[in-house]
Structure 1
Amino acid sequence: MPYRPKGSRFWHYDFQIRGRRFHGSCGTEDFEEAKAVEAAARVKAKHAPQITGRFTLSEAFGTYYSDVCAHQPSARTAMSHFRSVLGVIDGKTHLDALKQSDLTRFRSVRRWHVSGATINRTLQAMGRALRYMEKHHGAKLAELDFKAVKLAEPKERVRSLTLAEQGRLFEKLRPDLLPLVKFALMTGARQASICNLRWRDIDHDAARMTLQMKTDSKTEAKTMAFPMSREIKALIGALPRAEHPPHRDYVFTFEVQNRKKPERRRIIQNSTAFEHFAAAVNAAGIEDFRFHDLRHTFATRMLRQTQNLKLVSRLLGHSEITTTSRYAHVLDDDLASALDGFSALQNDESRRFSRRQKKSADNS
């Protein structure tokens, strides 16, 4: 029955269906009208997706985005994936009415516009959203085989930044993004780890910082202690700090321009910071380079300097050294260079004679 809360002019309803609470204002002072409003609300509630488990694709994406993606550095990417799906599959389609042919059609349409890897990432995001709705909201799902529509991908490339490219990039970057890029080159940390780094994670006395590591949805969050070199400590010590919470809690912030709000430095999550990074890469004339390639650059340079694959594996936070083996070509290149200056068939006298001949030829 409707009730009137203390201090309110209007009647309200408050009831439960299958353990879910529905409540609100009837919007009227008349008790009989309030009963009619409550009755209509009950009928509507019985057919609500939360009760029937019949969510549409748009409802699933919207719920998953607000519950999970909105607070992640990859929020804009997730939104792009969902929009891509809804551009091919009708958002009003109920999850239990989706067909395998819908996935096949999406793959066929998008193959003309994006790479196979992008299509796979989009389908993976869709699969995560659907499984989340099933687990946390009781959604009814159709039987879909996402693996069956997965496209073959080329072996992951390792693209590293040359020193010449680095110089051009630094010239084109906005000043407030330069520390972010330098930190990535100094640590090899992933984009999400950098965006989530907070001042409480920095221990200047122990010269250590705590980085959040990459995990999947089924694994608890992991962290790793990363040593802070003098170069890293100097960079962090010079960083400006945002004034207001929650932005002031984060180490790396982004200066938002043309805003009327007094807080100009804001967290990088959900900002246009990485769009500005991509624009700087293009302005510097650097081809086929993404922010994640800064991690590849760190690994390549560290391996070339230390010649220690296991050490690089630990710094990257890889659980298996086989993951780090993609950088082994660096050692192969260095070994080849070393062999170029080595001869197993010449004795010392022969080598001295060869050097004298070369010197004589150069002088002539």
Structure 2
Amino acid sequence: MLTVSELCDTYMADGTGTKKASTLPVDKGRIERHIKPLLGKRKVSEINQADIRKFLKNVSEGATASDTKTVSRGRAIVKGGKGTASRTVGLLGGIFTYAIELGLIQANPVRGVKRYPDKRNERFLTGKELATLGHGLSAAEAQGLNGKALNIIKLLVFTGARRGEIEALRWSKVDTAGRRLRLEDSKTGQKSMPLNSAALDILLNLQERAEDRSGFVFPATDGDGHYVGTPRIWSILRERIGLHDVRLHDLRHSFASVGVVNGAPLMVVGALLGHADHSTTQRYAHLAYDPLAAASEQIGQAILEALSGR
């Protein structure tokens, strides 16, 4: 019987064929930093629901927290927490399902274990903050801050796309005539993303000045491949304009929130964002136009005017 550690290695080698390549490093990190330290030496057949509940609790309380030096990035800081614990147990469920397929076990010990609610950050920029960002982008351009990163940030604002989708965008996927980005390898698979006038203008201006032959809209500054320095420039920009807690991914949330507030149906917003599961878009439901609240506001204003003699 394999140990959990050996099962994880087998899973990463042969059981991830349907997963996107971009998710594999995240899975490997969770395996190496949480699963192996706590469960790695145990036999797969020995693991039961009680072990999974204990694992969930330990990771959430920081039992696997660490701060280690790495060759590539300097430091790897692992904190744990409830969100990490829930997502890692979700991965464990997939790994034990693979064990069932191999005939190693009959039942999945993760099944039936209640996880913590995964409260992902849902930070939206307000109208005032969007104006602050707009002024900040203009000032940064005038000051000569990295133009590639600034244009990427603008496209994230106007499209709601994921950072990787824009950083790795190729001209062959930009259909200016059809006003669309035709992405073949997004996080949720192939998708066609409409381009509004603001996003299209940015791309048309870039296309007029394009000289690089790599095929990337935003080629790497040095060497092959595409530009990947947007997070660093965003950190500089957000500190300058006082949006210290705003992540690049929050620009995607902001695109969605503006759409919902302005009356776009949730299913339409989900389609624009490329959500494979409509339930993912439900996080924006509380922003949707409420006709009852609007009617109440109108009635209240009418009564107020009548009471005021207006």
**TM-score class, shorter:** 0.5 to 0.7
Aligned partner (choices 62, 81, 84) of residue 115 of structure 1: 81
The TM-score normalised by the length of structure 2 is 0.65
Alpha-carbon distance change, 116 to 162 in structure 1, aligned in 2, over 3 angstroms:
same
The TM-score normalised by the length of structure 1 is 0.57
Aligned partner (choices 247, 251, 254) of residue 294 of structure 1: 251
Structure 2 gap ranges (5+) = 63-79
Alpha-carbon distance change, 88 to 297 in structure 1, aligned in 2, over 3 angstroms:
same
Q: 2:71 maps to what in 1?
A: none
- Quote the offset at 1:303 in angstroms: 2.6
**C-alpha contact 2:3 2:42 (8 A) present in aligned 1:** no
Q: Which range moved further: 273-282 or 177-186? A: 273-282
- Quote the offset at 1:103 in angstroms: 2.5
- Give the share of equivalent positions with the same residue, in percent: 23
Q: 1:60 maps to what in 2?
A: 10
Alpha-carbon distance change, 99 to 345 in structure 1, aligned in 2, over 3 angstroms:
closer
Give the length in aligned residue pairs. Answer: 282
Amino acid in structure 2 at the alignment position of 1:204: T
- Quote the offset at 1:298 in angstroms: 0.5
Q: Deviations over 1:50-72 (max 9, x none)?
A: xx999714523652699677831
Q: How does 1:165-314 map to 2 (within 5 A)?
A: 165-166=129-130, 167=132, 170=137, 175-191=147-163, 193-194=165-166, 197-211=169-183, 212=185, 214-215=187-188, 221=189, 223-237=190-204, 238=206, 248-252=214-218, 255=221, 263=223, 266=226, 268=228, 274=231, 277=234, 286=243, 289-306=246-263, 308-309=265-266, 311-314=268-271
- Quote the offset at 1:153 in angstroms: 0.7
Q: 2:75 maps to what in 1?
A: none
SS of 2:38's equivalent in the other structure is: coil
Alpha-carbon distance change, 68 to 340 in structure 1, aligned in 2, over 3 angstroms:
closer
- Quote the offset at 1:141 in angstroms: 4.7
Structure 1 gap ranges (5+) = 1-48, 216-220, 256-261, 356-364
The reply on whether 1:315 has 2:272 as its aligned counterpart is: yes
- Tell me the distance in 2 between the aligned counterparts of 1:101 and 1:207: 54
Q: Deviations over 1:298-350 (max 9, x none)?
A: 111123334555543442345676654543433447975675455586699x5
- Tell me the distance in 2 between the aligned counterparts of 1:134 and 1:252: 44
Aligned partner (choices 103, 108, 116) of residue 152 of structure 1: 116
Q: Which range moved further: 117-126 or 161-170? A: 161-170
- Tell me the distance in 2 between the aligned counterparts of 1:184 and 1:235: 11
- Tell me the distance in 2 between the aligned counterparts of 1:110 and 1:199: 43
**C-alpha contact 1:56 1:95 (8 A) present in aligned 2:** no
